[in-house]
Structure formats: C-alpha cells, structure tokens
Amino acid sequence: MRLPERGFAVSPSAGAPDTESLRRFLEAMRRQHAEESAGKTVLITPEAISQTADYVLSHHLNVAQGGDLDATAQTLRGYLAALADEAEAHLDTGRIVVREMVGRARSEADEEHQPSLAGVRRAAKTARDLLALMTREGWRGAPDHGETVHAQAASAQADLP
C-alpha cells in the first residue's frame, strides 16, 4: 500500500488524511507547552541569538508569510528584551549609543502587532546590532565564559518556521 503523505498511514476506505485537524492539534500542543513553561527562565547563548538573526536575515525566510512568522517574532522579542536587560546591567547607559540601542531593542521587544517579514527582519537587525555593541564594549556572553542571556521560556523556546 502506498501512503498518501509521508507519515500518514490510512486505509484505502478512510480517504485522505485530515491534515488541517492535525495542524490544529499541533498548534494546541505548542500553546499548552508554552503555557506550562511560562515563567521559567531559559538560558540562551549569544550564539543562538546570532544564528537566529543570521537565519532571519538570510534568503531562506523570503517565502515566509505573516502567519508563519509568529514564533520567530515571539522568539526575537524575547531575545531583545533579554539583551536590553543585559546591556543595562553591564554597559554604561550614560553613553548615547548604549541608551539608543537599548531603547531600540525595548521598542522592538514591545511591538505586539501582526508580524511581517520586514518587522521580523528589523528585530533581527536590532538584536544583531545590540549583540555586536555589547561584544565591542567588553561584554563576554560566550558560553566558554559561563555567561548566558536569560529569556522567558514562552518567548525563547518558540520554534522557527
């Protein structure tokens, strides 16, 4: 018997699999997981932030639609909030460049509108820029130094599309 879709085993009398029901079930499981892990602190490495930003800014995301970007936008908002906290704790916020970058990161982190490709890419650029500034200013967030960025689980554990 040939399977109609990879991963689905259906008898010939059952017809085509109901992929929409399976998709809704998967989304419900993701929401439940996010609710259960809300409030838990997750350690995020600067490399994870950098790799996420690089992916979002690459051509791989060109075909993504607004609805496909929800998890990515949520993840980037979590990263930006955590980076802004780290920057305020470790950098001289009296300097204009630091104050401007932290303000930009907070503004992006607080945006809650429908995600768009342009908006997600703007957030990724902000994360990349703030991470670069922090590194130039001597912040050592690399895992081999034992420091990591903290973010809320509901934001940081979202899957990329």
CA angle, corner 120, sides to 126 and 137, nearest 5?
Answer: 15
Per-residue model confidence as pLDDT tens for the chain (161 residues): 444 455 444 455 555 556 777 777 777 777 777 777 776 666 778 888 999 999 999 888 887 776 678 888 899 999 999 999 999 998 998 999 999 999 999 999 998 877 888 999 999 999 999 999 999 988 876 444 344 555 443 344 444 44
pLDDT of residue 159: 43
Tokens matching residue 144 = 């081999």
Which amino acid does the sequence have at 136?
R
The count of C-alpha atoms lying within 13 angstroms of the C-alpha of 12, restricted to the half-sphere facing its C-beta, is 2
Rounding to the nearest 10 degrees, give the CA dihedral for residues 33, 34, 36, 42: 110
pTM (two decimals): 0.64
Give residue-wise pLDDT tens across range 121-154: 999 999 999 999 999 988 876 444 344 555 443 3
Cα–Cα distance measured from residue 145 to residue 14, given in angstroms and rounded to the nearest whole number? 57
Cα–Cα distance measured from residue 61 to residue 72, given in angstroms and rounded to the nearest whole number? 10
pLDDT of residue 125: 97
List Cβ neighbours of 105 (8 Å cut-off, separation of 6 or more): 80, 81, 83, 84, 87, 126, 127, 130
Give backbone dihedrals phi and psi of 61, rounded to 5 degrees, phi first: -95, 0
pLDDT of residue 14: 55
Rg, the chain, Cα only: 19
Which amino acid does the sequence have at 17?
P
pLDDT of residue 8: 47
